[in-house]
Chain A
Amino acid sequence: MKNTAATPVLSICNVGKAFGENWVLSDVSLDIMPGEIHAICGENGAGKSTLMNILFGMPVIQSTGGYTGKILIDGEEQKITSPEQAIAKGIGMVHQEFMLVPGFTVGENIKLNREPLLSSLASRIFGSRLKKVDFAKISSESQHTLNRLGVEMQESSMIETLPVGYMQFAEIAREIDKENTKVLILDEPTAVLTESEAELVLNIVQHLSDMGIAVVLITHRIQDIKQVADTVTVLRDGKNVRTVAVKDISEGEIAQLMVGRDLDLTAIEKRSGELSGEIALTTKNLVVDMPGEQVNGVDLEIRKGEIFGIGGLAGQGKVGIANGLMGNYPTEGEISVFGKPLKLNSPKDSIAAKLAFVSEDRRRMGFAPNLSIGENIAAPSMVAHNRFFKKFGFFEQVDEKAVRETAEKNIQEFQIKCTGPDQPVGTLSGGNQQKVCVASALELSPDILLVSEPTRGIDVGAKNTVLNTISQINREKGVTVIFTSSELAELRQMCDRIAIVSQGKIVEIMKPDASDEEFGLAMSGERREA
Chain B
Amino acid sequence: MSVVRRKIREFGMPRIIIIAFILLILVGALLEGQDMATLISDSLVRVGQNMLMALAMLPTILVGAGLNMGIAIGIVSGILGGLISVELGLVGWGGLMFGILLAICAGTVGGFIYSLLLNRVRGSEMLIGNYLGSTVVYLMCMFWFAAPFKNPTIIWPMGGKGVRTTIPVSDFFEKVLNRFLMFKIGRVTIPTGLFLFVFLVCFLVYLFTKSRTGMILRTVGNNPSYAAMSGIHINKARIIGITLSTVLAAIGINVYAQSYGFYQTYEGPLTMAFTPMAAILLGGATMKNVKIRHAVIGTFLIQTLLTTALPVCNQLFPESNLSEVFRIIISNGIILYALTQAGGDRR
Contacts and interface: CB of A to CB of B under 8 A. Distances in A.
A368 B222 contact: yes
Contact of A367 (B2, B210, B212, B223): B223
Interface in B102-130: none
B226 A396 contact: no
Given A63-B347, A397-B207, A398-B215, A370 B289 contact: yes
B215 A382 contact: yes
A369 B347 contact: no
Contacts, number: 81
A348 B231 contact: yes
Contacts of A256: none
Contacts of A396: 211-212
B231 A368 contact: no
Contacts of A400: 210
Contacts of A352: 231
Contact of B210 (A350, A371, A397): A397
Interface stretch (A274-282, A358-366, A404-412): A358-366
A348 B225 CA distance: 13
Contacts of B215: 375, 379, 382-383, 398
A395 B211 contact: yes
B216 interface: yes
B231 A20 contact: no
Interface in A369-397: 369-371, 375, 379-380, 382-384, 386, 389, 395-397
Contact of A365 (B207, B218, B225): B225
Interface in B201-227: 207, 210-212, 214-216, 218-219, 222-223, 225-227
B322 interface: no
Contacts of B230: 347, 351, 379-380, 383-384
Interface of A: 20-21, 59, 63, 326, 328, 346-352, 357, 359, 364-371, 375, 379-380, 382-384, 386, 389, 395-398, 400
Contact of B231 (A59, A375, A384): A384
Contacts of A368: 218-219, 222-223, 226-227
Nearest to A20: B2
B207 A379 contact: no
A59 B347 CA distance: 8
B8 interface: no
B227 to A, nearest CB: 7
B229 A382 contact: no
A356 to B, nearest CB: 10
Contacts of B288: 370
A63 to B, nearest CB: 5
Contacts of A371: 218-219, 222
B25 interface: no
A369 B231 contact: no
A365 B226 contact: yes
B232 interface: yes
29 contacts: A21-B2, A63-B347, A328-B229, A347-B229, A348-B232, A350-B231, A351-B230, A359-B229, A365-B226, A367-B226, A368-B218, A368-B222, A368-B223, A368-B227, A370-B222, A370-B288, A370-B289, A371-B222, A379-B219, A380-B231, A382-B212, A382-B216, A383-B212, A383-B230, A384-B231, A395-B211, A396-B211, A396-B212, A400-B210
A359 B222 CA distance: 17
Given A364-B226, A397-B207, 4 more contacts: A326-B229, A357-B229, A375-B218, A379-B215
A234 to B, nearest CB: 32
A325 to B, nearest CB: 12
Given A21-B2, A369-B222, A383 B229 contact: no
* The 7 residue pairs across chains A and B that have the minimum distance between CB atoms: A348-B231, A368-B222, A368-B223, A347-B231, A380-B230, A365-B225, A351-B231
A384 B289 CA distance: 24
Contacts of A349: 231
Contacts of A366: 226
B316 interface: no
A397 B211 contact: yes
